Amino acid sequence: MPVAQSSHLQSYDYDGASQTLTVQFLNGTVYQYPGVSLEDFTRLAQAGGGGTVFWSLIRNKYSGTKIADVKRQK
């Protein structure tokens, strides 16, 4: 997964075949966002996975499902 340049996102990955974006947040939770257009993913990737772009392009537009809660290592 690419590492995000964000104070909220740790990494993200996109499956073009299913149009599913998977995002891991810094707190360890992992969410999947189905139906994300390639255009929206490309804009997110071009922004380096920045939180502001994520919130405006993904979070406010697509429904996400929590799929994991990975504990952060200290």
Name the pTM for this structure: 0.83
- State the DSSP string of 23-56: EEETTSEEEEEET--HHHHHHHHHTTS-HHHHII
Structure confidence by residue, pLDDT tens digits, 39-65: 999 998 888 767 788 888 899 899 999
Q: What are the structural domain ranges in the chain? A: 9-69
Q: What is the pLDDT of residue 26?
A: 86
Per-residue pLDDT tens digits for 9-44: 888 899 999 999 999 988 889 999 999 999 999 998
